[in-house]
């Protein structure tokens, strides 16, 4: 019988400030928790996949393995898909386990996005997260890129500036039920509309948090963990990437993709086809939400709502707990935490938690099928993963 890979353990650090730890140290905290959750030991790990901080050493994954005491690995590497890595890495880890390359793969990321000495424009100028020569000199940094997407989105569908505000309100409602979330006080549509303008049309409460933190998970063979009933299957994984410069995203591919109609539809189609399910079958959706617009374009590209309709859909409560398809039940990057390199991993871990039935007050009843997405590089890189119980 062919080997089937499963997610068997997850771990997260606190999302409070962690200045006393190095980035590698934060990885150690998360990795240790994930391996323990799987009922394995570090000695069982023979594959390591790391999502490094933006300006890490090219040998960063080896440094992490040293810190964890994993001397011999048959696979040890980093990926550079930014926010889209959580799904893309799972695909690789699944292949590694199912092909026999590795027995137990540890995926980990950790970063001090908040207490780091270098941040904001320094990250841009030192690492070229976006283009340094034809974009950054004009004052374009991360929020303004998403402002460009949001402004065009509102224009395309004739919507008012507050159209996407319900996404922020729903995230906060769910964060209120998550003891680990950093922003738990309820907010209203009025609060979002009155929050300071960061870069039009995006206001502060439409922008994700900036935090320290780490996350990790273990991918192993079905039945190999200490708790097979808690193992989670990856029924489908899709990844799609397009371009980097905003002008090229605007031009698109001539086949329906452009700045606001992203290749997330390709990642979603692949994931749903592999899983043999449709949007209607989903019980919960954990959607990467670096900004309200980031979640909005994915929700529409994945076919959860029609074009231009996501704001109204969320405003009517359809993506609240108890609604048609609850989203970002942990509070997302908007209200739980955005700890940099592992930001999207928090969505994956929340998806696992929901499938395991371990989400406490925010548990979706009878949760059998979860969609988890991740995204990065404005509207360029995407992944979609469909999770279900493995046993």
Interface with other proteins (CB under 8 A), residue from 41, 57, 74, 125: 125
Q: Judge contact between 245 and 378, C-beta under 8 A.
A: no
Residues 6+ apart with CB under 8 A from 107: 48, 49, 50, 51, 89, 90, 93, 216, 217, 218, 219, 345
Stretch that binds other proteins, among 72-80, 94-102, 138-146, 340-348 (CB under 8 A): 138-146
- Choose among 204, 286, 296, 287: nearest CA to 259: 296
Site for other proteins contains 124 (CB under 8 A) = yes
Residue closer to other proteins, measured from CB, 21 or 136: 136
- Tell me the pairing of strands 232-241 and 5-12: antiparallel
Size of the site for other proteins (CB under 8 A): 39
The 93-122 site mask, x for binding other proteins (CB under 8 A), equals ---------------------------xxx
The set of residues, in sequence order, having a beta carbon less than 8 Å from that of 368 and lying 6+ positions away, is 283, 355, 388, 389
User: Which listed range, 32-40, 103-111, 198-206, 305-313, lies at the site for other proteins (CB under 8 A)?
Assistant: 198-206
- Residue 245 contacts other proteins per CB under 8 A: yes
- CA 189 vs CA 129, 150, 314: distances in Å: 32, 17, 12
* 391 binds other proteins per the rule CB under 8 A: no
272-331 binders of other proteins (CB under 8 A)? none
Residue 135 found at the interface with other proteins (CB under 8 A): yes
By C-beta, is 122 or 273 nearer to other proteins? 122
Alpha-carbon distance values, 190 to 159, 162, 187, 194 (Å): 17, 9, 8, 6
In angstroms, what is the minimal distance from the CB of 243 to other proteins? 9
CB 203 within 8 A of CB 167: no
**Residue choice 4, 14, 32, 141 for contact with other proteins (CB under 8 A):** 141
Match 């090229």 to its residue by tokens: 248
Q: What is the DSSP letter of 334?
A: I
Residues whose CB is less than 8 angstroms from the CB of residue 319 and which lie 6 or more positions away in sequence, other chains included = 167, 170, 285, 313, 325, 326, 327, 328
Kindly state whether residue 199 participates in binding other proteins, applying the rule CB under 8 A: yes
Task: Provide, rounded to whole angstroms, the least separation between the CB of residue 141 and other proteins.
Answer: 3
Q: Which of 8, 246, 314, 319 binds other proteins (CB under 8 A)?
A: 246
Residue 70 or 297 with smaller CB distance to other proteins = 297
Q: Is 131 one of the binding residues for other proteins (CB under 8 A)?
A: yes
147 touches other proteins by CB under 8 A: yes
Q: How far apart are CA 128 and CA 111, in angstroms?
A: 18
Residue whose CB is less far from other proteins, 15 or 291: 291
Structural Rg of the chain based on CA atoms: 19
The answer to the question of residue 56 lying near other proteins (CB under 8 A) is no
Q: Which residues bind other proteins (CB under 8 A)?
A: 120-122, 124-125, 131-141, 143-144, 147-152, 155, 196-202, 245-248, 250-251, 259
């Amino acid at each position: 019988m062919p080997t089937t890979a499963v997610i068997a353990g997850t771990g997260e650090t606190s999302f409070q400030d962690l200045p006393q730890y190095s980035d590698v140290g934060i990885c150690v905290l998360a990795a240790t928790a994930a391996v323990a959750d799987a009922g394995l030991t570090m000695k069982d790990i023979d594959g390591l996949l790391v999502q490094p901080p933006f300006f890490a050493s090219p040998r960063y994954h080896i440094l992490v393995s040293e810190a964890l005491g994993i001397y011999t690995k048959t696979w040890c590497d980093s990926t550079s898909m930014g926010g889209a890595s959580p799904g893309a890495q799972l695909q690789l880890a699944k292949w590694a386990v199912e092909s026999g390359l590795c027995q137990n793969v540890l995926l980990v990321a950790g970063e001090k996005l908040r207490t780091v000495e270098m941040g904001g424009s320094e990250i841009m100028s030192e690492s070229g997260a976006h283009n340094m020569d034809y974009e950054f000199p004009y004052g374009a940094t991360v929020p303004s890129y998403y402002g460009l997407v949001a402004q065009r989105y509102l224009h395309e569908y004739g919507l008012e500036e507050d159209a996407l505000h319900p996404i922020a309100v729903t995230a906060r409602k769910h964060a209120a039920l998550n003891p680990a979330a950093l922003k738990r006080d309820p907010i209203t549509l009025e609060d979002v509309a009155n929050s300071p303008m960061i870069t039009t049309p995006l206001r502060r409460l439409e922008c994700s948090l900036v935090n320290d933190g780490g996350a990790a998970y273990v991918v192993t063979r079905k039945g190999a963990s200490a708790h097979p009933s808690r193992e989670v299957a990856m029924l489908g994984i899709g990844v799609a990437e397009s371009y980097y410069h905003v002008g090229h995203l605007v031009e698109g591919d001539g086949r329906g993709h452009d700045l606001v109609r992203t290749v997330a539809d390709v990642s979603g189609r692949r994931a749903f086809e592999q899983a043999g399910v449709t949007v209607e079958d989903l019980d919960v959706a954990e959607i990467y939400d670096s900004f309200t617009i980031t979640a909005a374009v994915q929700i529409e590209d994945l076919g959860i709502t029609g074009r231009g309709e996501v704001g109204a859909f969320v405003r009517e409560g359809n993506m609240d707990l108890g609604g048609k398809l609850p989203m970002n039940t942990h509070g997302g990057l908007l209200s739980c935490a955005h700890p940099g390199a592992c930001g999207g991993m928090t969505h994956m871990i929340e998806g696992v938690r929901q499938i395991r039935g371990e989400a406490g007050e925010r548990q979706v009843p009878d949760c059998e099928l979860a969609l988890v997405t991740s995204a990065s590089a404005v509207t360029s890189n995407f992944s979609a993963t469909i999770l279900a119980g493995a046993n």
